Amino acid sequence: QLQLVESGGGLVQPGGSLRLSCAASGFTLGNYAMGWFRQAPGKEREFVASIEKNGDSTRYADSVKDRFTISRDNAKNTVLLQMNSLKPEDTAVYSCAGEFEGSGSSRPIDYDFWGQGTQVTVSS
């Protein structure tokens, strides 16, 4: 069974932090570039961050640059998204996805496997 399962979402106050995890099952995560995307109510799905297969290169959306950090541990088949200095506009469902061909596209259509998403709510 091929699965990506996100966890770590929840309710946090503005300025707070959360760490999201994405655990892969049924495939070798190291064969895929990994991305995080989010979708807020009334908004299109947007790119957040991505990381190459071996973790040597990352990219970030301008809206999260310097606040979020993506990392991976291929031995544990996991990808993380550390989110700091959270803002209300970060509120969204966050999903991780794997891309076999490529190095971490910003386009959802390029990804092959998706998790179910985890809710992040930033509110006072």
CB 86 within 8 A of CB 24: no
Mean pLDDT, residues 29-34 taken together: 94
CB 60 within 8 A of CB 84: no
Distance CA 18, CA 46 (A): 19
Q: What pLDDT is stored for residue 1 in this prediction?
A: 76
Q: What pLDDT is stored for residue 92 in this prediction?
A: 98
CB 54 within 8 A of CB 30: yes
Mean pLDDT, residues 3-20 taken together: 97
- 77: CB partners within 8 A, 6+ apart: 23, 24, 25, 28, 29, 30
